[in-house]
Each structure stands twice: as C-alpha cells, then as structure tokens.
Structure 1
Amino acid sequence: MKKLFFALAILITHFSSEAQVKTPQASPRANVFQTVGLTDVEVNYSRPGAKGRPVFGNLVPFGKLWRTGANENTTVSFSDDVIIDGKTLKKGKYALYTVPRIESWDVIFYTTTDNWGLPQEFNEANVALRTTVKEEALSKPVESLTINIASLDANFAYLEIYWENSYVALKFEVPTQKTAIANIEKVLAGPTAADYNSAAQFIFQSNGDLTKALGYINKALDMSVEKPFWFNRLKSLILAKQGDKKAAIEAAKLSLEAAEAAKNQDYVKMNKDSIAEWSKK
C-alpha cells in the first residue's frame, strides 16, 4: 500500500510540474516585420481591446505619456539609420511611447526597452527622437490596437497606429539609395581579403584543392595590410598538409608573432605546438 501511495505521489507531482493551464491573453502579442527598400523594420507590441470602453480621453488620457500598447514595452527596431521629420534616428531598437491629443500625437522613440509599461522615472536623456504627427478621425471604430507599416515605397514608409476612432501615421525615410550604391560598389570592386580567406578555409576544411586554397590565402595576405594572425595560421596548415613543413613553419612563426602582439593566447599555443611538431625530423 505504501508503494502504491508513493507511486501516486510521484505521478501527481509529475503532472503538476508538466501541466500548464493556457488561457487567452487579454492583450495578445503581435509582431510586424517589414522590409522597406533595403531596411528591415520590426514592431513588437501587445494589442489591448476597447471592449465597450471609451478609449482616448478616458482609458488613455489625453496629454499624458502612453506606452502605446499593453504589458511590456512596445518596441520598434530599424536595421539602418532612418530619417523622421528631418532628424536622424540611429539604427537599433526603441520603446515606442506616445502622448495622444485630440488633434495631434507626440511620438517618442526611447532607448530603454525593458520596462513593463512606462519607465518608473522618464529620462529625457533616453529620448532618441521626438516628433509630432497629425491625428485623424476614423469613420469606423477599430476594436483592437493596431500598429502597421504601410504605404511602402523604396525610400520611405509610414508607421501607422489605429485604435477606436483615432489614426496617426508617422513617415520615416530609409537610406535605400545609399545602401544600394554601397553594395554595388563593394560587389563590383571584387572579393575582399576576408572573402579569399573564407574560400581558402572552406577548401582546406573540405579536403579540396590545396593549391587553390594556398592561392586564395596568399591573395588574402597580399590584400591585407595588417596580415591577421589567423590568415597566416591557415596558410601554415595548408602548407603542412601539402608536405612543405619548412614553409609551414615560416608561416606559423609569422602567425605566432602577430598572435603574441594581439595577446591571443589560443593562437600563440596552437602555433607553438605546430612549430614544435613540424620541426621534428
């Protein structure tokens, strides 16, 4: 009987630890991801519902800072610097706060994003950008808060906020032309030293053509002013695999010298061990 009670206790404990009651969230999470030109924009927020309540001027007071959602911070992130109202907002992730009014809203991008709702103490030093947008009345009420990226163009888009009978749209400009030209120039300029190193690394690790791998790593070294220790380390391994231990030791010594200057003890040890091994007759 004791064994039976013991087994039942274990079973109940197991189910208690495994079982989790799942219920719908009052303000479910939502995610919006949109590429504008060549810039990735992402919005994460919770969507409260009106549920028969008057929203603006009541649930959300006019003239006061609002978290623009529910629960944890609503966040907006940009993969590139963007222009808003003639001002630059650096790439990164921001909490989105607003101050709703009857005819206009203040929109605030705040650098601290780990608050639950509003910050305990609002710090102007954390305001990356603040601007004002016009509020427009909707003819049909929106039940759940909705944030969207719309009116897409290669060079701009609008961050839109809808709820109840209110709508605001914030235009942001993205650096598509600058990014595209920079990418074109990089591609047309040909492979970089890092590209040649990556190619040599792949061929070496996949037991490919070592002569080709050696040619690639030599190009990487020729193109590099700094001669990184990991470049010469790879060259030494390729040479050793080809059977040229003398040349491998010379490359390893160059890698060792650079690794010591950089205080990278892992590469210092690897090079010393390899030199000792390849020096054996």
Structure 2
Amino acid sequence: MALLEARGLTVTYGGVRANDAIDLDCAAGALVGLIGPNGAGKTTFIDAITGFTPTSEGSVTFDGRDITRAGPSARARAGLTRTFQSLELFEDLTVRDNLLAAAEWPAWHALFIDVVAPRRRAARAADRVDQILDMMDLTDLADRLPAELSHGRRRLISVARAFAADPQLVLLDEPAAGLDTDESRALGVLLRKVVDGGTTLLLVDHDMGLVFDVCDHINVIDFGSVIASAPPAVIRNDRAVIEAYLGTRHKEGDQ
C-alpha cells in the first residue's frame, strides 16, 4: 500500500472539472513529481489532497486511513503538510521562530505532556528545528528576519518550515519559482537529502530540469486528468506528454 492514495479524485468549480477522476500514488520514501501545463490542475490537486479544497468525488487515503472528509489541520497533524506558491512567512519572526511555529502542532495529548513534563515538547521542537536548519544549510541565518534575505533563501525557509513538524509527506507547490539555475540545482540536492532521511515528497514545479533530475516517478496531468505516470526516462519520450507541452495536438487540429 502506498503512503498516499488518491482514487477518482474530482474537483469541480461550477461546470469546470479542475481535477477529473485522478488516480495517483506516492510510495513511502519516494520523491514523486507532478507536472503539467499552466492551468492543468496541479495546485488544485494539492489543495484537494491537503483539505483546502473540497472534492466532489473520489477518496484520499493517507498511511492507511481514509482522510477524504478531514480538514487541513487534521491532515497536517496526521503527517501531511505542504508549501504554498506564495511564501506565507511570518515577516516579524526570525527564521528559527518561523520553523518553531510550524514545529509545535498541538495534539490531544499535548496538555498532558505539558503538565507531567513541562518543557519536553518545546525542547523536542527546538531539536527538530535545529536539525532542519542544518539540513537546509540555514543555520547561519537562524536569527535573521526573512525580509533581510534573498528570494532564494526565503524559498528555502518556506520549504524548511514544511519539514519542521516532522511530517511523513510534504507536498511542494512550485518551490523553485524565481530561483536561478544554481539555486534550483542546490534545492534539488537538498530535496534528495530530505527523502534519503525518510520523508516522502510530492513535487510540483515548472522547472523540468529539477523535476527530471530528482524525482523517482513522475505524473503528468493535462486538462485535469492524468495522461502519463512513469519513471522520468519514460516520461521524457511519452508522446502524450510531448504533445501537451508543445501543443502538437492543437496545431494538427488547426490544419
């Protein structure tokens, strides 16, 4: 059984089917890519998986549990987190405090832990944040404010914050947006390091070099439907994928 299973996932906006009966798996310990042309439904899929957009049909199973009707907070507490295209950073908090805010998700037993062992939960969160800062090469910036940093570093902070709560699966929505070639390559190295450490990733990005270099498996959607799902070497030569990106179908239809 995959860590994440989407079956027949459908999202409608009026008469538009933004996601149309999508089947998609994320195997535990894998780095899975999700690509497609602009407007294909990639962010809608992330919103649906994380509970920010309601589904009209289909189901979502995470770690063996049906979470189709769970809200975003319940899914996050279960170990399913995400990033956003907009950075969503707390500009008045340091880099470390941004991560700490994400690391201390309250749970039903949190009050009991705080009563019998005050400071244990905070210490555990601080240790986790230190590990993430080190892994993402952000330790030297821990006490800086996000506004003082470059766009590339701010992107890394946004990604690092998604890892702070020690999730099982992180859905990354365009983490390389605005990064130059060197920054994107460095991000890819860090993402592989995260996966090798045991966290499963679903990567949505327009940077094809990044996606094909780091992903174990790639899913392609167009007009809200999956048109290909295979390892990167197969996807590169898939005719349906080439047509979706280059517009061959439309050109042939116009002749």
Identify, as 1 or 2, the structure richer in strand.
1
Identify, as 1 or 2, the structure richer in helix.
2
**Greater RCO structure (CA 8 Å; 6+ sep):** 2
Higher Rg of the two aligned structures: 1
Q: Same fold (TM over 0.5)?
A: no
